[in-house]
Amino acid sequence: MESITNDDIRRISKELDNFYTAYRSNIYFTVLQNAIKPQTHSSEFWKFQKYLLQFSLIVNWCEVFGSLTQNNHWKEMTLENNEYTELLYEHGNYSYASWYTYRKYIEEIKKSYLKDLDVYHHENPDIDLSGINTSLRITHVWLNKLVTNSKTELINEIYDRWPISNAELDRELEKELRNNL
């Protein structure tokens, strides 16, 4: 297993910002999707909240995993890393070709969102978010393992900015939102 350094994290800081925004949006969207009673779904407030979370999820995910991703250091660490891609493909039941196809699919949805920002235009429960969910969860676990295997400690600036070292992040976010609902 590889490790990660403070310099690695600095080089992927933009992707980590987008990644953890997408990660949080995914958790919150999923909790709202599962927790809100059907009769409440018609509430304008909940429709708007779910739209914003889904919008944030898709746009930020595409900045990290989309087919047009530009950051070479992020790609070297993840998509070009055999250990990472094997984990992603195994848990998401993907091959290279199907993962590429899924990324293009989500990229097209992102383009649709950016073309028409109206909340009601995008009420589409048929969007397949499974690859997004899998990739976000797998990546956080993988990054957490890199930090755990790191020979150098991460500086406080990194701990304060990104919850990479928090192995329980998904559970904490879910619990926090459920407690506030």
Does 34 fall in a domain? Answer: yes
Does 30 fall in a domain? Answer: yes
- Structural domain that includes position 108: 6-180
Q: What is the pLDDT along the chain (181 residues), one digit of tens a residue?
A: 477 888 888 888 888 999 999 999 999 999 888 877 655 556 778 878 888 899 999 999 999 988 666 667 787 778 778 889 999 999 999 999 999 999 999 999 999 888 877 766 666 567 899 999 999 999 999 988 888 887 777 777 776 788 888 888 889 888 888 888 7
Does 75 fall in a domain? Answer: yes
Question: Which pLDDT belongs to residue 40?
Answer: 55
Does 150 fall in a domain? Answer: yes
**Distances from the Cα of 106 to the Cαs of 67, 130, 132, in angstroms?**
9, 11, 9
Does 114 fall in a domain? Answer: yes
Does 148 fall in a domain? Answer: yes
Question: Which pLDDT belongs to residue 41?
Answer: 54
Does 1 fall in a domain? Answer: no
Does 24 fall in a domain? Answer: yes
**Distances from the Cα of 101 to the Cαs of 3, 84, 94, 125, 152, in angstroms?**
30, 18, 10, 20, 37
Other CB atoms within 10 Å distance of the CB of residue 106: 22
For the entire predicted model, the pTM comes to 0.87
Question: Which pLDDT belongs to residue 132?
Answer: 96
Q: How many domains does the chain have?
A: 1
Could you identify the residue written with the tokens 């999923």? 30
Question: Which pLDDT belongs to residue 25?
Answer: 96
Question: Which pLDDT belongs to residue 37?
Answer: 65
